[in-house]
Structure 1
Amino acid sequence: MASISIIGTGNMGSAIARLALAAGSDVQVVARDGAKAEGVDPAATAATFGDALTGDVVVLALPYPALDDVVATYGEQLTGKVVVDITNPLDFATFDDLVVPADSSAAAGLADRLPGAKVVKAFNTNFAATLATGTVGGLPTTVLVAGDDADAKAALAATLDGSGVRVVDAGSLRRARELEAVGFLQLTLAAGEKTGWDAGLALV
């Protein structure tokens, strides 16, 4: 059985947990607020930030600035694991720029800080609502995945197999920059009320 730990109990973390449970994966949900995760599906295991991670795949369903805490707390424990960065590194003060170098990405920066982990980028081009419904404009929700390790991308896909979403390999970790640009565009469109928070991009 595929196993996944999801750090974060917000809308994205909860939606990803439901998908993994629907796929039959063994799911651990880790709360960052120092308390046991509340409202977690009873089929999942609830844990507190700092507890041991049981999943072979670890999803960081957190805001970009929280990655510092993850590295400090779990750095060594993430060695050998598939680490999924879902962040969009926006400048939330201006909502008009990304805060990573133009030739890099949040995922690439995380990979540099976790050299023993297999870092992939995924879910940052999805809104929680489209993960929850499994559809975008009548089409299956597409989860784009970028990473340098084919087995790591396959491991993430295995945790979602049977959930109803479509997982598509978007290429190497270098493509994380483009995925973050797409995520940035979607967020600015939704924040500007040009689209809804239940919208998204679909592959036809």
Structure 2
Amino acid sequence: MEAPGRTLAGLARTQQEGLMKIAIIGAGRVGTTLGTQFQRAGHHVVYGARTPDSPKYAGIGTVATISDAAAAADVVVLTTPWAGAQEALEGAGDLTGKVLVDATNPIGPGMVLTHGTTDSGAEQVARWVPGARVVKAFNAIGMEVMANPVFANGRSVLWMSGDDADACAQVAELAASIGFEPVRLGPLARARFQEPAALVWITASATLGREFSWGILRR
């Protein structure tokens, strides 16, 4: 892993085959948990923040403005709270052609989805940034699973969906590199099922605790 820094110089170097340059928009607990795992797998991570020089980001790694982080990345991962997602994406600049992983959940007051059944937060994200290749992933599990997706009886399934097959394959490779079993559900509209699954996980965690995840039983 590269030593933490506060510039983008490291992003200019040639990456080894299979490793990616990742911008994480949002340096909260979800973003830094994923970022830590990506770095451990050898990927280069930069966090995008509105105030990158804030002391609150000291020690987490490379932090830049949202636009600079996104411009230098192969994959952009959105991990902000839903209420700040649109503003963060507006600050990211031109994302045309970029793989944009939507890890958010459109949860409003009272733990109710603001989008559902006939729409999804991921589809709204795609409307906000129509040139990006949006993939829904990393939304239906907790941080504890992100930090360690390998269980005694198998790997955590990572549900994902997206319209661009190549973008989905890239995100699947990224997820597998940190221990997940990625499963593509289909086009981005399938996020209408993924986002309610996040509420299932959150609800079940009240009974099961947070060290559990999705799995597949096969015959």
Fold equivalence (TM over 0.5): yes
Q: Secondary structure at the match of 1:164?
A: coil
AA aligned to 2:212 is A
Q: What is residue 84 of structure 1 aligned with on the other side?
A: 101
User: Unaligned stretches of 5+ in structure 2?
Assistant: 1-18
Alignment coverage as a number of residue pairs:
196
Q: Do the aligned residues in 2 keep the contact of 1:88 with 1:184 (CA within 8 Å)?
A: no
Distance 1:142 1:38, change over 3 A: farther
Counterpart for residue 26 of structure 2: 8
Q: Residues of 2 paired with 1:163 and 1:72: CA distance?
A: 29
Of stretches 62-71 and 32-41 in structure 1, the one that deviates more from structure 2 is: 32-41
Larger Rg: 2
Q: Answer yes or no: is 1:129 the counterpart of 2:144.
A: yes
- Give RMSD over aligned pairs: 2.0
Q: Is the 8 A contact 2:46 2:69 kept in 1?
A: no
Deviation string 1:4-29 (CA, Å, 9 cap, x unpaired) is 11112222112211222232222212
TM-score w.r.t. the length of structure 1 is 0.86
Q: Distance in 1 between matches of 2:134 and 2:155?
A: 25
List per-residue Cα deviations over 1:96-122 (Å, max 9, x = no partner): x21114301000111112111001100
Q: CA deviation at 1:175?
A: 0.8
1:136 is displaced (CA, Å) by: 4.6
**Judging changes above 3 Å, is the alpha-carbon distance between structure 1 residues 24 and 67 closer, same or farther for their aligned structure 2 residues?**
same
- The TM-score, its normalising length taken from structure 2, stands at 0.81
- Greater relative contact order: 1 or 2 (C-alpha under 8 angstroms, separation 6 or more)? 1
Take 1:17 and 1:52, find their aligned partners in 2: how far apart are those partners?
13
Q: Which sits farther off after the overlay, 5-14 or 22-31?
A: 22-31
Identity of paired residues, percent? Answer: 33
1:156 correspondence with 2:176: no
Distance across 2 between alignment mates of 1:109 and 1:71 = 12
Q: Which amino acid aligns with 2:191?
A: A
Which runs of 5 or more residues in structure 1 are unaligned?
A: none
Q: Match of 1:25?
A: 43
